[in-house]
Chain A
Amino acid sequence: MRRIGNAHARATRSGMARVFLTGNLKQLTGGAAEFDIDAHDVRAVLRALVKLHPVLEPHLEEGIAVAIDGEIFQDAWFAEVRADSEVHIMPRIAGG
Chain B
Amino acid sequence: MAKCHVTTTINGDPVEFLCTTEQTLLDVLRDELQLTGSKEGCASGDCGACSVMLDGRLVCSCLVLGVEVEGHAVETIEGMAQGDHLHPLQQKFLDHAALQCGICTPGFLVAAKALLEKNPDPSETEVRYWLAGNLCRCTGYDKIVRAVLDAAAQMRGA
Contact, chains A and B (beta carbon distance below 8 A):
no
Interface residues of A, Cβ cutoff 8 Å to B? none
Interface residues of B, Cβ cutoff 8 Å to A? none
